[in-house]
Amino acid sequence: MNPGSSACRAMTAALLRRRETAPLHEMSLCEGVLRILQEQARVQDYSRVLKVTLEIGELSCAVPESMELCFEAVTRGTLAEGATLEIVRTPGEAWCQDCQIAVPMKERISPCPHCGGFRMKVQSGDSMRVQQLEVD
């Protein structure tokens, strides 16, 4: 564990206690997820969400632990209150412009494993999406 992520978690908890609409990254991501759930409830005609499987790329800035905290806070009093949040990490992939090949990427700042260069273009694993829903 690096000290940065635990500080971030502590901040998240503090913000949640104050119940402010803080410009917190994970908070707005979770609000986005809730909007999707509400839209889908109209389209697919369900009234309760039991489980949400969320795909989070390894290169996205969303911290899974913070997502869990925020999801619980954001869904309180909604159709997804008490729903289980399952997070699936998807691997990052980048295109090396020097080698002209796609390579796996663990962190955004990683160099190309073949040439050691940094002319990398992220191709996947930098986003988040709702993969699966269990509804009632």
Minimum distance, C-beta of residue 95 to Zn ion, in the bound complex (Å): 9
Q: Is 102 in the site for Zn ion (CB under 5 A)?
A: no
**8 Å CB contact between 120 and 105:** yes
Nearest to 22 by CA among 8, 34, 36: 8
Measured from the Cβ of residue 82, the count of other Cβ atoms closer than 10 Å reads: 10
* Contact with Zn ion (CB under 5 A) among 99, 122, 124, 130: 99
Q: Which stretch binds Zn ion (CB under 5 A): 28-36, 73-81, 82-90, 92-100?
A: 92-100
Q: Is 98 in the site for Zn ion (CB under 5 A)?
A: yes
Nearest to 64 by CA among 44, 89, 42: 89
Q: Which stretch binds Zn ion (CB under 5 A): 9-17, 34-42, 65-73, 106-114?
A: 106-114
Q: Which C-beta is closer to Zn ion: that of 39 or that of 118?
A: 118
> Cα–Cα distance between 76 and 92 in angstroms, integer?
32
Q: Is 122 in the site for Zn ion (CB under 5 A)?
A: no
Helices then strands, counting H and E runs in the chain, come out as 3, 6
Residues binding Zn ion (CB under 5 A): 96, 98-99, 112, 114-115, 117
